[in-house]
Amino acid sequence: DTRDPTSLRTPIVAVLGHVDHGKTSLLDKIRGSAVIEGEAGAITQHIGATAVPLDIISSIAGELVDPDDFDLPGLLFIDTPGHHSFTTLRSRGGALADIAILVVDVNDGFQPQTLEALDILRRSQTPFIVAANKIDTVPGWNATEDSPINDTYESQSDRVRQRLDESLYEIIGNLSDEGFSADLYWRVQNFQRNVGVVPVSAMTGEGVPDLLTVMMGLSQRYMKEEMEIDVAGPGVGTVLEVKEEKGFGTTIDTVLYDGTIRSDDTIVVGGQNEPIVTDVRALLQPRPLAEIRTESRFEKVDEVSAAAGIKVAAPELADAMAGAPVRVVRDRALEDVIDEVRAELADIAVDTAEAGVVVKADTLGSLEAMADALGDAEVPIVRAEVGDVAPRDVSVASTADDGKQKAILGFNVDTLDDAEQRAEIEDVEIFTDEVIYQLIEEYEAYVEGIEK
């Protein structure tokens, strides 16, 4: 075998933004364009992700992208659905996503989840660009399907152009208020220092060529070294979601960012208590052309290489946590791999105090983000865990001496019925929200009420 064992993997692109601002539509548009180009099969659907190879990007982007200028194989887009915070997409030492697209509706502007996404992009130091979406809704807009932004901009009336400019400058102003120096993407020289804003429409495809061009250029210019992986090596990834799947039991939707996973591998997965050691039973991908995230029928595959989204079915996964590491053992000593997973878990563990509030969150990444934000607000934490608010959380909270610490803050989680009843009896307050800073504000307002 003369193959070079190291090769360049696909950069992982998180698509994030406030509810309904057009994340999924943008990915649908990119998929749709490939279908029109007669290349439907070339875009592969993954679990929770869409892989777009370089030649498709180049055919959508037209003259904006010359494939000879690039050696990265394409882009892997991860959609973050609904209120599900993309805080899941964190892994050891930063973000799981290499790069991100923050989608902002030009009419709606900055919203709570836009701010939350920015906060996490800042904390994880993830490079990103802003897609100012829905430009076709500017009154009087004259659409040219799939056109680069410059061409369509030229064909608008002065009035329309002025209205679009106003919306775009408002977004640039909002970014600046959040501490990001931003400008329209064609004015940005250094994308590491400035955030580029790309006007797009997921509906008409206008600006999509520009968006893909900027993402590709940004990855090639600043990420290339990080994309060098040992493709044949044992796989390394992060759990995106833990899901029950008919006929397969508990499965983990995983983003693989290094190496390979095979259907006969032994893996180690971060669990609620101890690292879980288990044998892969099946590796599952959506069937071709199936709808992302609504897919219930899968295709079994023997092997997957990074970067990829893959559903892993294996016994013993009930305690697996979203945001936790996944590592393939292969030819290594099992104990070493368990130690690696344990070290990664310790790295994302939250420091707790003797007394404080109880924190629950949907993923390890969001738990960490909550802990960071509570740290800034000088709120101590007595217990922090992934999972829904359960009766034992109420028991812990009820033992607080300080009334304002008889509280549970749940981010993106549900409250179990018996926990709710118990909280009422024990006089414990439960706060839940889908936006971190709102959750903390609610809690602070409550504390203020007590102290008055």
Residues in contact with Mg ion by CB under 5 A are 23-24, 81
CB nearer to ligand GTP: give 29 or 327. 29
CB nearer to ligand GTP: give 168 or 276. 168
CA–CA separation, 1 vs 59, rounded Å?
Answer: 33
CA–CA separation, 106 vs 166, rounded Å?
Answer: 10
CB nearer to ligand GTP: give 17 or 356. 17
If contact means CB under 5 to 8 A according to the sort of partner, which of Mg ion, ligand GTP, none does residue 19 touch? Answer: ligand GTP
Contact, 367 vs 350, CB < 8 A? yes
Runs of H (alpha helix) within 317-363:
334-347
CB nearer to ligand GTP: give 77 or 191. 77
CB nearer to ligand GTP: give 105 or 429. 105
Q: Smallest distance, Å, CB 201 to ligand GTP?
A: 4
CA–CA separation, 149 vs 186, rounded Å?
Answer: 10
CA–CA separation, 432 vs 439, rounded Å?
Answer: 6
If contact means CB under 5 to 8 A according to the sort of partner, which of ligand GTP, Mg ion, none does residue 20 touch? Answer: ligand GTP
Contact, 238 vs 308, CB < 8 A? no
Q: Smallest distance, Å, CB 4 to Mg ion?
A: 38
Burial of 400 (0-12, 13-18, 19+ CB in 10 A): middle
Q: Smallest distance, Å, CB 422 to ligand GTP?
A: 33
Residue nearest to Mg ion (CB): 24
CB nearer to ligand GTP: give 293 or 342. 293
CB nearer to ligand GTP: give 201 or 305. 201
Q: Smallest distance, Å, CB 367 to ligand GTP?
A: 21
3-state secondary structure of 273: coil
If contact means CB under 5 to 8 A according to the sort of partner, which of ligand GTP, Mg ion, none does residue 315 touch? Answer: none
Q: Smallest distance, Å, CB 99 to Mg ion?
A: 19
CB nearer to ligand GTP: give 21 or 163. 21
CB nearer to ligand GTP: give 79 or 265. 79
CB nearer to ligand GTP: give 160 or 382. 160
Contact, 387 vs 369, CB < 8 A? no
If contact means CB under 5 to 8 A according to the sort of partner, which of Mg ion, ligand GTP, none does residue 201 touch? Answer: ligand GTP
3-state secondary structure of 252: strand
DSSP character for 415? B
If contact means CB under 5 to 8 A according to the sort of partner, which of Mg ion, ligand GTP, none does residue 136 touch? Answer: ligand GTP
Burial of 296 (0-12, 13-18, 19+ CB in 10 A): exposed
Quick one: which of 405, 413, 434, 408 has its CA closest to 423?
A: 408
Quick one: which of 322, 422, 411 has its CA closest to 360?
A: 411
Q: Smallest distance, Å, CB 195 to ligand GTP?
A: 19
If contact means CB under 5 to 8 A according to the sort of partner, which of ligand GTP, Mg ion, none does residue 176 touch? Answer: none
If contact means CB under 5 to 8 A according to the sort of partner, which of ligand GTP, Mg ion, none does residue 199 touch? Answer: none
If contact means CB under 5 to 8 A according to the sort of partner, which of Mg ion, ligand GTP, none does residue 21 touch? Answer: ligand GTP
Residues near ligand GTP (CB under 6 A) are 17, 19-25, 81-82, 133-134, 136-137, 201-203
**CA dihedral angle for residue 218, residue 224, residue 225, residue 230, rounded to 10 degrees:** 140
Q: What is the 3-state secondary structure (H, E, C) of 125-160?
A: CCCEEEEEECHHHCCCCCCCCCCCHHHHHHCCCHHH
Q: Smallest distance, Å, CB 24 to Mg ion?
A: 3
CB burial readout 214-228, b (16+ within 10 A) else e: bbbbbbbebbeeebe
Q: Smallest distance, Å, CB 408 to Mg ion?
A: 29
Contact, 294 vs 343, CB < 8 A? no
Q: Smallest distance, Å, CB 261 to Mg ion?
A: 27
Q: Smallest distance, Å, CB 21 to ligand GTP?
A: 5
36: CB partners within 8 A, 6+ apart: none
If contact means CB under 5 to 8 A according to the sort of partner, which of ligand GTP, Mg ion, none does residue 162 touch? Answer: none
Helix (H) or strand (E) holding 102: strand 99-105
If contact means CB under 5 to 8 A according to the sort of partner, which of ligand GTP, Mg ion, none does residue 64 touch? Answer: none
